[in-house]
Amino acid sequence: MTYLMSFLLVGLVVGLIGVASNPSPFFAALGLVVVAGFGCGLLVGHGGPFLSLVLFLIYLGGMLVVFAYSAALAAEPFPESWGSWSVFGQAFIYFMGVVLAFWYLCGGWNEVCWVPVEELKTLSIFRGDMGGVPLVYSLGGGMLLISVWVLFLALLVVLELTRGMSRGALRAI
């Protein structure tokens, strides 16, 4: 279990480096899908399969919409891929930052933190992620509205940033 969780954490960090270092929305969207997959795998490993499934489906639906808008508005003839030297240089700098942060912070880590949530309660009849589902439906309405507003604002910011000086593929002729 420790090897699987370590693999998922390394994949999550590598995916985040791929998203942060790539200026093209095409390849960055692929990196975000990879990061979502590894993050949901981590949630499953810690005892949250329902939360992981819902998060993955909602996130992929939202990413599909954002990717469609950003791909339509940012029609680059030659997008920079992960093989470009500038993207590789930025990824190397981010990777070295992660290695230095790990080296500085790894002193007190041990394998006790890999315990799933089901093993913390001896005779519980509920799964770890099912305790929060009723709270989402009873007290989560306000947070849902705030989350919708934040996602809409993030969509507008992404569209404005990818538009640039021209209109891209959706310009008037």
Q: What is the reported pTM?
A: 0.62
Instruction: Give 4-48 pLDDT, tens digit per residue.
Output: 888 888 899 988 888 888 777 677 777 788 888 898 888 888 777
Task: Identify the residue with better confidence: 172 or 39.
Answer: 39
Would you place residue 130 in the very low, low, confident or very high pLDDT band (cuts 50, 70, 90)? low
Instruction: Give 77-117 pLDDT, tens digit per residue.
Output: 666 666 778 888 888 999 999 889 888 877 666 555 666 65
Helix (H) or strand (E) holding 30: helix 25-45
Domains of the chain: 2-170 (1.20.120)
CA dist., res. 54 & res. 106, Å (int): 32
Of 41, 21, 46, the residue nearest 31 (C-alpha): 21
pLDDT at 34: 85
pLDDT at 65: 77
Task: Identify the residue with better confidence: 126 or 111.
Answer: 126
What does pLDDT average to over the chain? Answer: 75
Top-confidence range, 49-58, 94-103, 115-124, 137-146: 94-103
pLDDT at 166 over 70: no
pLDDT at 96: 93
